Structures are given as structure tokens and as C-alpha cells.
Amino acid sequence: MGKAKLRIKRRERHIVAMGGGGFSMEPENPLLDDFILRLTGKRRPRVCFVGTASGDADGYAERFHAAFGNDRALASHLGLFRRTQVDLRAYLMGQDVIYVGGGNTANMLAVWRVHGMDAILRRAWAAGVVMCGVSAGALCWFGGGVTDSYGPLAALDDGLGLLPGSMCPHYDGEAQRRPTYQALVRRGQLAAGYAADDGAGLHFVGRRLAEVVTSRREAAGYRVERVGRRAVETRLEGRYLGM
């Protein structure tokens, strides 16, 4: 009698892309960060902060450790400008959450590719490590989006592509984000995609948007598509995570 094949169930793949919020923007409002931690199913998950987009700013990492370095999580951070980790793959695959901070998206993606981080992050996501981030750390998971990496707001079209289409963070937080994103989608410079207000997180399971979760009652997500010669915005009501 032949041996039965062992069936290994792939862990669900989660990405939470926050338009704004989390420990760096709402230090007194942990709702979005707590939601991310709960996705791991662990009481004290291993959470790694990646601050490449800010040039591995010390203050940013310090704020992360102040927020997570307690009974909430086993916190660590990965620096690439002063790299000390030799085996990035083993280190990142050993995390429960990879949390990407904000800053310059274009610079971050370039540095990641030099270190082979793009391939490692894809592998970690496929293995079930929860991916999340704010601003640049939200946009990076998509094929492209709206960035201020070059100064004025412009299209970025070389994201990691784990999620389809494009993304715009800070949709209600910066006056020019909404009109710029809609114009880029209307002109075909960006594919249809999603936007998120500050305080809103787009929660994807696999490559499908499962829900919008919010730390502010008024925050929401949006679907922005090109229809004919227009950009059409559809509001996606969020689930407020508070009481």
C-alpha cells in the first residue's frame, strides 16, 4: 500500500495597506495596528519594521519599538543602509508580520531590489507572513500608484505587484492626492485601483479586497476606475474598529 500524500494547506496571505495611520501617525490610536496583529492568531507575534523609505531613520524605528516592543509583540527592525543581517531570507521568513514604514517609495524599491528584498518579500507573503504598511508601505505592494518620491505628485509604475492595479494613500489627507490619482487613472497612466483615507486600511486576502477597516469613523476606502474618458470613484465604506 502506497504512502498517503501529505496535504499541506497554504496559510492565508494577508496584506493591509494603510492610507495613513498606525503607530507613526496615530500613536494614541492603536486600532489599525491591533487589527494587523490579530491576523497572525498569535498572542505575541514577531513583528519586523522595515524603514527603508525613510532612510532607516533612527527616530522612526524608535517609535516603532516604543509601540510594539512590549507584551504586544516581539519587535525588531531591519536596516539596509547600515545592514547587519546577513541572511535576509531566513530573517524575514521567520517573522509573523512585516511592517513597512512611509517615506520615499521609489528610493525604497530601488534599495530593496539591490538587496534582493523584492523576491524575499514575495516569498514571505506566499508563505503567510502578514504584510502591511503605511503610505509608501501601502503603495509598494501594488503594481503602481501616486507618489511624491520625485517632488510633485506623479505616477509610479514599478511596485512589487503582489496586488493588482494601483493605489493612492492619504486620499483625504493631502489636497492634491484625490485629483492627481483620478487624473492619472483617467489618462491611462495608472491602472484602475484603490485609494485609502488616513485612518483606513485596505485588507486583502490573497489578491482580493476582503474589507476596509478604519481607526476613524469617517475614514473610507475607494475604488477608482476609468470609464470612457472619465475616472469614476466608488466609495467603499469601512468597518470602524472601535466601539
**Is the pTM above the cut of 0.85?**
yes
**Which position among 135, 149, 166, 215 bears the catalytic label?**
135
Residue 44 C-alpha cell reads as 505575541
Q: What 3-state DSSP class applies to 189?
A: coil
> Whole-angstrom Cα distance, residue 113 to residue 119?
8
pLDDT of residue 8: 33
pLDDT of residue 9: 42
Q: What is the pLDDT of residues 22-55, one digit of tens each?
A: 999 999 999 999 999 999 999 999 999 999 999 9
Catalytic residue flag (residue 166): no
Residue 196 C-alpha cell reads as 485609502
Catalytic residue flag (residue 135): yes
Alpha-carbon distance values, 48 to 117, 174, 184 (Å): 14, 28, 33
pLDDT of residue 243: 79
Q: Which domains are delineated in the chain?
A: 16-240 (3.40.50.880)
| Whether 226 contacts 185, CB under 8 Å | yes
Q: At what angle do helices 117-126 and 105-115 cross, to 10 degrees?
A: 90
Residues of the chain with pLDDT below 70 are 1-10
Cα Rg of the chain (Å, integer): 18
Q: What is the pLDDT of residues 144-167, one digit of tens each?
A: 999 999 999 999 999 999 999 999
pLDDT of residue 10: 52
**Which position among 14, 77, 170, 203 bears the catalytic label?**
170
